[in-house]
Amino acid sequence: MHKIQNTPKIVTIIGLALEGLAAFSAILSAIFIPLLFNSEFFLSDLGEMTSEELEFFDIMISWMTSIMIVFAVLFTIMFTINIILFTKLIRGKFTEEQAKKVYLYQAIWGGISILLNTVTGILYLVSGVQGYSGHVDKIDTREGI
């Protein structure tokens, strides 16, 4: 069974936490954007808009809500997949060959997610490349201390 080194392990855990936060934030945004913009408090400030501007505003809020729903679904699905794979990787449930494939997936997903969540993407890239290349953490210690 494969034992993950401490550096990729810590970086992966931080990446998972940030990815979970991104999924949670996207879900909250998808819920609260329509609630905020359809509230009486917000609508009372729109009195000076023409009917065409109000119609355009409604279309934009609908589009923004749809985009946030798509992001929420995408982030939630990817977070679920990653939490399952990376938790098994951290716990040493994979053979060396399987772990190498998970590291490759992690590096590829890191490259893709750099466009959506830069910090998480960089963390996954670092962890995936270190794990795939077989990087071993070296700690300089003197014996007898």
pLDDT in tens, 4-29: 887 788 889 999 999 999 999 999 99
Nearest-angstrom CA–CA distance, 123 and 28: 24
Mean pLDDT value across the chain:
84
Nearest-angstrom CA–CA distance, 43 and 53: 13
Q: What is the pTM of this model?
A: 0.77
Work out the average pLDDT over 99-123.
88
Percent of all residues in the chain with a pLDDT value above 70, rounded to a whole number? 86
Work out the average pLDDT over 98-107.
90
> Is residue 141 scored above 80 in pLDDT?
no
The reported pLDDT for the residue numbered 39 is 67
pLDDT in tens, 74-102: 999 999 999 999 999 999 899 989 989 99
Work out the average pLDDT over 108-133.
86
Work out the average pLDDT over 59-87.
93
Higher pLDDT, 113 or 139: 113
Residues with Cβ within 8 Å of 2's Cβ and at least 6 positions away in sequence, in order, are: 89, 92, 94, 95, 96, 98, 99
Nearest-angstrom CA–CA distance, 81 and 104: 15
